[in-house]
A = this chain, B = another copy of it.
């Protein structure tokens, strides 16, 4: 039934790590001793897989990352998108619980988990900061459960556009760094429903679709009402 999602097939040769370099960057303002290594991924490239060792913590520099779970038959639920400035990949235990992939060409900084862990055991405020990051993700997940469990397609789409706008700077002009299918798998819908919803917003003058990836929020107030 809901089978859609997930390209099988082997990864095209084009999709390989694209660059590698040393860019010093502090994980926390207060602890400049931890540095990140810069790394790039092409569109749809896997950063880590569910069940793999979680050796690194990541910070998005540019692009965007999806983290998701898949069922055996291919149904996929994206738990969240990680946008520039966001950290992701630090999960409880030694194994990743989600798969992470770049939704578009993406640059990240990597931090060794072992370093971060040992920092957390030495530095109380760093430990607290890590805890707060996890708590922030939990907060997002709680909001998203309400959306997935109880909101209509239109409400989900409105909430999505508001969320993206807010996280991308709140300018009202949103450049979506992901496909319709990604949006659908994030919102618990099909890509057709996402497409139709955007078209309806456009027809009602609520948004303007410059092209599939660029949306102007014309009546943001209306969207916020729809989103609840």
Contact = CB atoms under 8 A, between A and B. Distances in A.
A57 to B, nearest CB: 13
A128 B137 contact: no
Contacts of A121: 124, 128
Contacts of A185: 149
Contacts of A130: 131
Given A91-B135, A139-B92, A188 B75 contact: no
Most B-side CB within 10 Å, residue of A2, A130, A142, A148: A142
B97 A139 contact: yes
A121 B126 CA distance: 11
Contacts of A79: 142, 145
A71 B228 contact: yes
Interface string A69-97: 10110011101000000000001100001
Given A141-B138, A142-B141, A150 B92 contact: no
A136 B97 CA distance: 11
B120 A188 contact: no
B146 A71 contact: yes
Contacts of A77: 145-146, 149-150
